[in-house]
Structure 1
Amino acid sequence: MSSHHIVRDDQEPALIIANGAACSQELMGQLLEWSPRIIALDSAIDRVAALGIKVDVVLGDFDRDFNPQHYLEEQFPLEIIHVPNQDKTDIEKAFEYLIEKGHKAVNVIWASGKRADHTLTNMTTIVQYRNQLKIVVLDDHSKVFLLPKRFDKWYTANTTLSLIPVGKVNGISTQNLMYPLHNETLELGYRTGTSNHVLTDGIVTITHESGDLLLMECWD
């Protein structure tokens, strides 16, 4: 598989390839086609290169004796970004790199599966960049993103939607969900909104007053 890039305008999301479970070639191909900049984390570059994917950037702390020079020829032109800061994860470093480069949106793949601590961190880290970068995490079973205070979107009936709070989220109300919420509170570890469903074809509205609320569009 090769990439890229057929870019329609400056608003197309960049793409980060982390080092969790791989997604399908179909999903990978869809995202590669439209990504203006593709970043592979250093821990994933061997797997990425083995698939024949051309990336623009290899980024990470380069631990475990990682030698990026090995990829310069086969991935040319390639930008190598070494960020040794151990206070941030490599995916956080990738977000900050994209913000510095002026990107407004990014899709993230290979960010779930494999190690549970990495999956949880990757999903919840996106809230700290809420005002700088629109982040969507995708795999073959779900699409995860942070909700604004009011969210409206058309869905088909029975679409599975999960509302996952990062910390405590207050004043949540929904319309057109099978299990409605009316000015209620969700809190991670105590009460979440997993496996709700769209009631009828049409607009789903979700509002909340405070806190960070993730929406997961899910399919089996």
Structure 2
Amino acid sequence: MKDKTLLFINGDAPKSLPSPANYELIACTDGAFHYLKRMGFPLDKLAFISGDFDSHSGSDEDMYEEKFILTLDQEKTDFHKALEIIQDKGFSEVDVFGGSGGEQDHFLGNLTVAFAFKDLMNIKFYDEFSEYYFISNHFTLKGAKNRMISLYPFPSVNNITTKGLNWPLTNESLSITSRIGTRNFAVEDEVSIEYESGDVLFFAGNKEIEYPTIY
């Protein structure tokens, strides 16, 4: 298995950019190319730029034309098609920036694409507020204390038990139609989550927050 991939897609531009040195493969969709160029990202580090290039300006982008991969299939999103390329190259660990913000139907579409790939790739999204990703039914996060933790059923999760959270769950069920598990927070350094069936989208806040302990 190869090392991690860094993928930029066309949501809100990140407030800060991760170091390219931490990744073996770096790529972006054609829409994300514009904010990377504006933010001074080293574009020579990009392995490929994929999309239909309907926003291609034809100016200084031409020097990167050899990195273009044209993906015209309108039945799939640019994010979906970029993940297929990454998978074909043998990578399965993907950090995604630019997945949230902008038009909210795009954000929901990105989550749906990640759900479709969850058994094939380990995909983690990062934005200015949190990191978020689908978790297995035996999951542990260290360094969690005082971080906001949200559990979002997708669309349901059964017999879920948590440890290390201020409001723990014990063999309970969550569903988007009845009860979700957002805006909790970690009171221990380690948070563990187990569940029997279903799927859950896990959010961990980027910053420590101060909440009073509720007894």
TM-score by length of 2: 0.86
Aligned residues: 204
1:140 equivalent among 114, 118, 128: 128
Q: 1:60 touches 1:83 (CA, 8 Å); kept in 2?
A: yes
Q: Which aligned pairs between 1:164-183 and structure 2 lie closer than 5 A? A: 164-183=152-171
Is 1:155 the counterpart of 2:143? The answer is: yes
Which AA in structure 2 matches 1:193?
G
Q: Which aligned pairs between 1:106-117 and structure 2 lie closer than 5 A? A: 106-117=94-105
Q: Which aligned pairs between 1:182-197 and structure 2 lie closer than 5 A? A: 182-197=170-185
Contiguous gaps of at least 5 residues in structure 2: 208-215
For 1:83, the equivalent position in structure 2 comes to 71
CA–CA separation in structure 1 for the residues paired with 2:6 and 2:15: 15
SS, match of residue 142 in structure 2: strand
Q: 2:96 touches 2:123 (CA, 8 Å); kept in 1?
A: yes
Is 1:18 the counterpart of 2:21? The answer is: no
For 1:29, the equivalent position in structure 2 comes to 18
User: Sequence identity, in percent?
Assistant: 30
CA–CA separation in structure 2 for the residues paired with 1:133 and 1:157: 27
CA–CA separation in structure 2 for the residues paired with 1:91 and 1:19: 9
Q: 2:2 touches 2:90 (CA, 8 Å); kept in 1?
A: no
CA–CA separation in structure 2 for the residues paired with 1:189 and 1:13: 35
Post-superposition offset of 1:155: 3.0
Post-superposition offset of 1:67: 6.1
1:216 equivalent among 189, 203, 213: 203
Post-superposition offset of 1:88: 0.9
Contiguous gaps of at least 5 residues in structure 1: 1-9
For 1:104, the equivalent position in structure 2 comes to 92
Structure 1's 68 and 88: CA in aligned 2 closer, same or farther, altered over 3 A?
farther
Structure 1's 192 and 124: CA in aligned 2 closer, same or farther, altered over 3 A?
farther
Q: Which aligned pairs between 1:42-81 and structure 2 lie closer than 5 A? A: 42-53=30-41, 54=43, 55-63=46-54, 66=56, 71-73=61-63, 75=64, 78-81=66-69
Q: 1:62 touches 1:82 (CA, 8 Å); kept in 2?
A: yes
Deviation track 1:79-138 (CA, whole Å, cap 9, x = no partner) reads 221111111111011111111110020100011111111112212321211221110000
1:131 equivalent among 108, 119, 126: 119
CA–CA separation in structure 1 for the residues paired with 2:18 and 2:115: 27
For 1:6, the equivalent position in structure 2 comes to none
CA RMSD of aligned residues (A): 2.0
